Chains A and B, each alone.
Chain A
Amino acid sequence: MRPCRTMDLVPWLHVVDARLMSVRLSIVVVEPDQERARLIVESLCAAGDHEILVIRETTGLARRIGQADPDIVLIDIADPSRDTLEELALASGPLERPVAMFVDRSEQGLTRAAIEAGVSAYVVDGLRAERLKPVLDAAMARFQMFRQMRTELAATRRALEERKVIDRAKGLLMKARGIDEGEAYALLRRTAMDQGRRVADVAEALVTAAGLLS
């Protein structure tokens, strides 16, 4: 476990410490990526004094979480390993406490917002919403950022791929019709407009067809 603050180094704070300990939440973050995990821990620490354990390895996930016995488990909603956490709902051993995807009937909006942000939160039954909210808010902000980054990365990758295909299609046209690059692109664009398709789709079709014919 990695505490946010190591208060036990200050002996005269012990009384306060004991009180704080009783309100501290123990949080497990399931995140294979080290950098993402660091950022999540950072925002959770900013949200309060909590005990945070990062699990990067998803093998035996339910068992590891059972051992850690946390109040809250946070996991990326896109992570298929999340299904293994569902086992905990059936577990009845002394170390394994029942967990449920967080929902408080009065705060359905919070859960929905969490799902939209891309974070799944499992909490021990009975944890009160006001204790969970700051943690979830912090996590949501972070996951929202990751989701946005992921979307942007995917868009960039797609744009790059499309660029490559368009370049290949231009090359094919230049060779086959003896035209220059500008004309080749204009031809692709005109065809796309005529057919109501995207330039990248027309280029893709051309490259595929050329591959079949060669």
Chain B
Amino acid sequence: MNLPVLSVGFTPLVDAAPVIVAREMGFARAEGVAITLHRAPSWSASRDMLAFGAVDAAHMLSAVPVATALGLGGAGAPIHALSVLSVNGNVIGVSRALASRMRGQGYGFDFRDARAAGTALLDAAGPGLRIGVPFPFSMHAELIRYWFAALPAAPEAGVEIRTVPPPLMAEAIGAGEIDAFCVGEPWGSIAVETGTGELLLPGCAIWDAAPEKVLAMRAGEAEPARFTPLIRALWRAGRWLAQPGSRTAAAEMLARPEYLDMPAEVVDRALSGRMTVSARGDARRVERLVAFDPDRAGFPWGDQAAWIGRRLARRAGLDLESAERAARGVFRGDLYCQMLAGTGAAMPSAESRDTAPGLQRGRFFDSRVFDTSRVE
């Protein structure tokens, strides 16, 4: 049988797992679609491949569709998010020099307490801290900014946030171009493996349900219904990935040369939450370092887009209210509900538009709860 084909872009990261699993485990075929996967060399290339029609859909940073709606970066067709593929998945690391200064000042690297880690980092780094993130429009950049702004001693001199592509992150910190980074796994573990950096915190220590990657399509898509089998397959892939028994198979799959092309053992660290945080082999355990379970995280909330949109708009000097309106329209909860109708997927009902049983939007390290009524 000839199935309709959808081409899907992905960037080599652990959180590309849902699209890879949807293909490799046969969920896509079972839903009646054949997917071809295309590895993108960078986020901007992935966005443009999608915007200009080289692929039909893409594994994408949650902030990128929002940025395109605000006219930031790129100039192709605007893109929309059909579902949240993963929450969390990033780690924060520091250079070895900075790590040993922090240790010298008595910091214990618990890989848990964001307030203590941030304070220790600022104490040891002094003014002019340079932090690498993969993309200017990313949850990485937002987490770092949120973190520093909410610390008791917010840095006066400011923190310089630089864009460094994930595959070059370990090299950049090794060469002293940056002092710290926030990057998606497995690239933080690669910095540990190459002996250039040590891990300080998982991203989930700052916000425990940060929408990280989305499945993106072109906004002007004439026939969104053709994505229904893909979204259903991704929902099944997410549920499969959420089962502890799937982990080893998933790590092996992702490790293959056509996907991440790196040792399965390194890929497995994020999936299992058993992180090696230093070259000496110090181990830390983290719950939900990266999470795929769509019944807690899959629904693309307008509020999530609004949160990202207001923050991007404030920095770019755009009007906040119109930015928020534009952002909300980008996360297509409406299509998500239509496409997953009848599957039993968790989604808000028409009556309760801003809550749904099971779905979680999380809490920040400063005890604030992600809250619809207060999008900041």
Chain A residues in the interface with B (C-beta under 8 A): 58-60, 62, 77-87, 89-90, 92, 100-103, 108, 111-112, 115-116, 120
CB distance from A106 to the nearest CB of B (A): 13
State whether the Cβ of B22 lies closer than 8 Å to any Cβ in chain A: no
Cross-chain contact A83 with B163 (CB below 8 angstroms):
yes
CB neighbours (8 Å) of B75 from chain A are 100-103
B:62-81 near A, CB below 8 Å: 72-76
Q: In the assembled complex, how far is the CB of residue A83 from the closest CB belonging to chain B, in whole angstroms?
A: 5
Is B277 on the interface with A (CB-CB < 8 A)? Answer: no
- In the complex, the chain A residue whose C-beta lies closest to that of B316 is A90
Residues of A within 8 A of B42 (CB): 79-83
Q: A87-B136, A92-B317 are in contact. Are A59 and B175 (CB under 8 A)?
A: yes
Contact of B167 among A80, A100, A108, A111 (CB under 8 A): A80
Binds A, one of B27-35, B44-52, B329-337: B44-52
A60 to B42, CA, bound (A): 17
Contacts of B168 in A (CB 8 A): 58, 80-81
User: Which residues B135-189 have CB closer than 8 A to chain A?
Assistant: 135-137, 162-168, 172, 175, 177
Which one, B44, B54, B167, contacts A86 given CB within 8 A? B44
On chain A, the residues within 8 Å of B74 by CB distance are 86, 89, 100-101
Contacts of B53 in A (CB 8 A): 112
Is B76 a contact of A86 with CB atoms below 8 Å?
A: no
Which residues in chain B, 246-304, are within 8 Å of chain A measured between CB atoms?
A: none
B48, A83: Cβ atoms closer than 8 Å: no
Does B134 belong to the interface (CB within 8 Å)? yes
B 57-99 to A, binary, CB cutoff 8 A, 1 in contact else 0:
0000000000000001111100000000000000000000000
Compute how far the CA of A120 lies from the CA of B73 in the bound complex, rounded to whole angstroms. Answer: 13
Closest residue of chain A to B171 (Cβ to Cβ) is: A59
Q: How far is the CA of A80 from the CA of B42 in the complex (A)?
A: 5
Determine the residue in chain A with the shortest Cβ distance to B165. A80
List the 8 closest A-B pairs by CB distance, nearest first: A80-B165, A100-B75, A89-B73, A84-B163, A103-B75, A83-B42, A78-B41, A80-B42
Sample of 10 more A-B contacts, CB < 8 Å, known A78-B41, A101-B76:
A79-B41, A86-B43, A86-B163, A87-B162, A89-B136, A102-B75, A111-B76, A115-B49, A115-B54, A116-B54
Collect the chain B residues with CB atoms within 8 Å of residue A78's CB: 41, 45
Are B44 and A59 in contact, with the CB atoms below 8 A? no
The reply to whether B177 and A59 form a contact with Cβ atoms under 8 Å apart is yes
CA distance A112 to B54 in the complex (A): 8
Q: In whole angstroms, how far apart are the Cα atoms of A102 and B76 in the complex?
A: 8
Q: DSSP majority for the B interface?
A: loop
- A120, B72: Cβ atoms under 8 Å? no
A80 touches B49 (CB 8 A): no
Kindly provide the distance from the CB of A18 to the nearest chain B CB, expressed in whole angstroms: 32
The chain A residue sitting closest to B52, CB to CB, is A112
CA gap between A86 and B133 in the complex, in Å: 12
Q: Which residues of A contact B353 (CB under 8 A)?
A: none
B136 and A82 within 8 A (CB):
no
In the complex, 5 of the A-B residue pairs with CB atoms within 8 angstroms, ordered by the A residue number, are A59-B175, A80-B165, A86-B43, A87-B163, A115-B52
Min CB distance B173 to A, Å, is 12
Say whether B315 faces chain A, with CB atoms less than 8 Å apart: yes
A78 vs B52: C-alpha distance in the bound complex, in angstroms? 16
* Bound CA–CA A90/B163 (angstroms): 12
- Is the beta-carbon distance between B135 and A86 smaller than 8 angstroms? yes
Q: What is the distance, in angstroms, from B202's C-beta to the closest C-beta of chain A?
A: 23
Is there an interface contact between B76 and A103, defined as CB atoms closer than 8 Å?
yes
Whether the pair A84, B164 counts as a contact (CB closer than 8 A) is: yes
CA distance A92 to B316 in the complex (A): 8
Known: A86-B73, A111-B52. A101 touches B44 (CB 8 A): yes
A100–B164 Cα distance when bound, in Å, is 19
Q: Collect the chain A residues with CB atoms within 8 Å of residue B316's CB.
A: 90, 92
Contact partners of B163 in chain A: CB under 8 A = 62, 83-84, 86-87
CA distance A115 to B54 in the complex (A): 9
Distance in angstroms from B138 CB to nearest chain A CB is: 10
Whether the pair B135, A101 counts as a contact (CB closer than 8 A) is no
A residues near B166, Cβ cutoff 8 Å: 80
| B315 lies within 8 A of A90 (CB) | yes
B294 to chain A, nearest CB (A): 28
B134 touches A83 (CB 8 A): yes
Chain B residues with Cβ below 8 Å from A79 are 41-42
CA distance A77 to B43 in the complex (A): 11
